[in-house]
Each structure stands twice: as C-alpha cells, then as structure tokens.
Amino acid sequence: MSEMTRNALIDAARDAASRAYAPYSGFHVGAALLLKNGDVVTGANVENASYGLTLCAETAAVAKIANEGWIGELAEVAIVGGRPQGAALIGSEPVHPCGRCRQILNEAAERSRTDILVHCASGDGSAIATYRLSELLPAAFGPKDLGLIT
C-alpha cells in the first residue's frame, strides 16, 4: 500500500473515532478496514456500563464485514485512538489493538489468506507504527488450526 493510501486509511479511522461512544473512559478509538476491492469499512468503540460488554473499534468493524459476507476480503487495518479535545484527538503514542482484537483480526486475516498490515496511529497524528499481524500475534490460533483453511 502506498503512503498516501495508508494515510487515507488512518484518516478514515480517525473519522470513525469521532463517532465513538466512550462515556466511561473518554478514550475514543476508530478502526478502518481496507478490503481487497479497495472499499473501506469503519468501526468505533462502543462502551457499556458493564465494562466487559464494551466493543472495541476493531471488533465493531470486523463484525460489519462479517455481516456483509466480506470476512475473507480484509487487506489492511488502521487504528487511531486518543482523548477528544474539540474536533481533534489528543495523544502522541500509537494505539495498538488489544489481545482480543488481535485475535478477531486474525480470524478475518486467515479467511483472507493475508498476513495483513496493521497501522497503529496516535490521536494527534504525530506517530504511526506499522506491523504485520503475525508480529502482533505470533503463533496465532485460528481457522487453520481447526482444519478450515489449508
């Protein structure tokens, strides 16, 4: 992916973060999934008073592609997070997917037969770290382990 496309994907994640529902933590996260056909699907975190029921941005976005039948089309993901300050997000450190989200992303990545790129960006846009999913979740368990993908 070109830097311009990476930055556009990060911008889409930042836009998604603006729609987060995070009344408890005050921390907004957005995710943007790039599909193989070039479409972008986004999600934002949705908190719940029962914290364990909170949905991360990546989980919300993967649920959208699964519900549309596109679970095998994931190519890349961008994640942005920070505290809102007016229309901007603040925070200078890249936000990385939690362990649960790494596993959720792995499911889609294995179905897509791709070791996807994961772009992690800071809320203020000053820092970006890019990884292969296999770097973030080495020796992952997924559909291949159940014999569903060969």
Residues annotated catalytic, as ranges? 58
Angstrom CA distances, 133 to 50, 68, 91, 118, 119, stand at 29, 23, 23, 6, 10
Strands (E), 21-100: 28-35, 40-44, 74-85, 88-90
User: Do residues 147 and 37 lie in contact, with contact meaning Cβ atoms separated by under 8 Å?
Assistant: no
User: Do residues 42 and 28 lie in contact, with contact meaning Cβ atoms separated by under 8 Å?
Assistant: no
Q: Which position has the token pair 């997000």?
A: 89
